[in-house]
Structure 1
Amino acid sequence: MKKDSVVYLNTRRKSDFEEQKEAIENFCKYKFSIDQIFHDYRTSSKPPEKREAYQEMLAHCKENGITNIIFHNFLEFSKNMDHGLREFRRLSDEGLCPYCAECDFIGFHDDPAQRTQAIQNFIAYMELYKSSMKKSQTAKTDSHTSNDTRIGRPRALDDGQKEALITVRKSGKSISQICRMFNISRSTVSKILADYPELKGEWKGNKEKQV
C-alpha cells in the first residue's frame, strides 16, 4: 500500500519545475501517493523558516497527519549546509521522514523508522566532524600565533575526515564546494578520491595543462 506524502520543490529556474516533478513522480510511482506539491522559487539561500511554501507544507503535514516529505535532491534544499543539516534533524526529531528522488545516500526507503535513525546518525556524525574541524582550526590558529608562519604542504585529513569527504562527494557536492568545506586543495581532494574514479569527475586543472 502506498504511503501518503507531500512534495517540496525548490527550483532555481522556472523550467526546472516540470523536470523535477517528473523525477519525483517516477520515484513515488510504487511507494508514495502525493497529497500536494509545495514549491518555492529561488529560495535556496534562505533558511527554511523564511520560506513561505515550505512553512505551508509543514503546517499541512501537521494538520493532515502526513509524515513523509519528498524532495528532488537534498543538495538543492539549501546552499548553506548548516541550514540543511539543522532542518533535517528537526524534521526527524518531529517524526517527519524526508526522502529524495535523486542522489539519496541514506537508504531504507521501505522502513521509515530505520531511515529516520540513519538520518539522525549521519547528522550526528557531521556535527561531530564540524566540532572537530573547529577545534582543529582553533589549535592551528593558536599555533600560528605563537610561531612564525611558514609556507608548507597543504594540511592532511585524518581517516574520519576522509570518510566524511567521500560521503559528501557521493551526495553530489562539487570539488570546489568540498575544497571550501574542508579547507583543502584540489590536489588533496584528487588524491583522496583516487580509489573512487566515479567520484572524481573532470578536474579543470588537468584540462588547462593539456591545452
Structure 2
Amino acid sequence: MKKDAVAYLVTRRRGDIEHQREVLEQFCKYRFTINTVFNDHRAASTPPRKRDGYNAMLQYCREHMAQFVIFLSLSDIARNPENGIDEIHSLISEGFVPFFAKNDFIGYVDNPELRTEAIGHFVEYMGTYAERVRKAQSTSPRQESRTKGAIGRPKALNEGQIEALITVRRSGTSISQICRMFNVSRSTVSKILTDYPELKGEWKGRRQDAEEAGSE
C-alpha cells in the first residue's frame, strides 16, 4: 500500500517545478501518494527554517501528523552541507522520515524504522567528521608536514576527509559546494573521483554549476 507523504522543492529557474514534479512522480510511483507539494524559489542559500515554504511544510506535517517528507535531493535541503546535516538531524528528532527522489544513498525506503536509524548513523558520522575538520583547520597540511618531518608536497586531504568527500558527493552535493566545503581545487576533486566515474560524470560540462551560478 502506498504511503501518504508531502514533498518540498527548491526551484532556481522557471520551468524547474514541472521537471522536479516528474522526478518526484517517478520516485513515488509505487511507494507514496503526495498530498501536498511545498516550494521555495531561489532560497538554496537561506537556512531551511528561515524559508516560508519550508516552514509551511513543517506546520502542515505537524497539523496533519504527516511523517514522510520527500525532497528532490539531500543537497536541496541546504546549500551549506553542515546546515543540511543539522536540519536532517532536526527532522528525525521530530519524528519525520526524509526521503530523496535523486541520489538516495540511505536505503531502507520501505522500512521507516531502519531508515531513520541509518540516517541517524550518517548524521553522527558527518558530525564527527565536521568536528575533526574544524580542529584541523587551525593547522595547514604544509605546517603538519614540517612538524612531522615529512618530505615532499603534502596531500590536500587525508584518508578520512577523502571518504567524507565521496560520501557527500554521493548525496548529491555539487562539485562547487565540495570545493568550498573542503577548501580544495576542482582538479583535486577530479583526481579523487577518478575511481568513481559515476560520481565524476554527473558534473561533466559544468551544467550543474552553471545552474547554481545563475541562481545566485
**Rg: which structure is higher?**
1
Q: Structure 1 residues 51 and 32, CA, compared in 2 at 3 Å: closer, same or farther?
A: same
Kept in 1: contact 2:73–2:172 (CA 8 A) = no
Match of 2:95 in 1: 95
TM-score, normalised on structure 1? 0.84
Return the letter of the residue paired with 1:32. F
User: How many residues are treated as equivalent by the alignment?
Assistant: 198
CA change 1:139–1:154 in 2 (3 A) is closer
Distance 1:191 1:203, change over 3 A: farther
**Residue 119 of structure 1: how far off its partner (Å):** 1.1
Task: Give, in whole Å, the separation in 2 of the partners of 1:86 and 1:186.
Answer: 26
Q: TM-score, normalised by structure 2?
A: 0.82
Offset at 1:77? Answer: 2.5
The answer to whether the Cα contact below 8 Å between 1:103 and 1:172 also exists between their aligned partners in 2 is yes
- Aligned twin of 1:4: 4
Corresponding position of 1:48:
48
Show the counterpart of 1:126. 126
Name stretches of at least 5 consecutive residues in structure 2 with no aligned partner.
207-216
In percent, how many aligned pairs have the same letter? 52
Residues 8-23 of structure 1: pairs in structure 2 closer than 5 A: 8-23=8-23
Could you give the per-residue CA deviations for residues 43-85 of structure 1, whole angstroms, max 9, x where no partner exists?
1111111111111111111111110001112212221222211
Aligned in 2, Cα 1:25/1:131: closer, same or farther, shift over 3 Å? same
Partner residue, 1:34 = 34
Q: Which protein has greater RCO, CA pairs closer than 8 Å, 6+ apart?
A: 2
> 1:66–1:174: structure 2 CA closer, same or farther, 3 Å change rule?
closer
2:11 touches 2:41 (CA, 8 Å); kept in 1?
yes
Unaligned runs of 5+ in 1: 205-211
1:154–1:183 CA distance, 2 compared to 1 (3 A):
farther
Deviates more, 1:87-96 or 1:118-127: 118-127
Per-residue CA deviation, residues 120-153 of structure 1 (Å, 9 max, x unaligned), is 1111111111111111111349x59xx9xxxx73
CA contact (8 A) 1:9 1:39 kept: yes
1:4-61 deviations in Å (ceiling 9; x for gaps): 1111111111210011011111211211111111111111111111111111111111
Q: CA RMSD in A?
A: 2.3
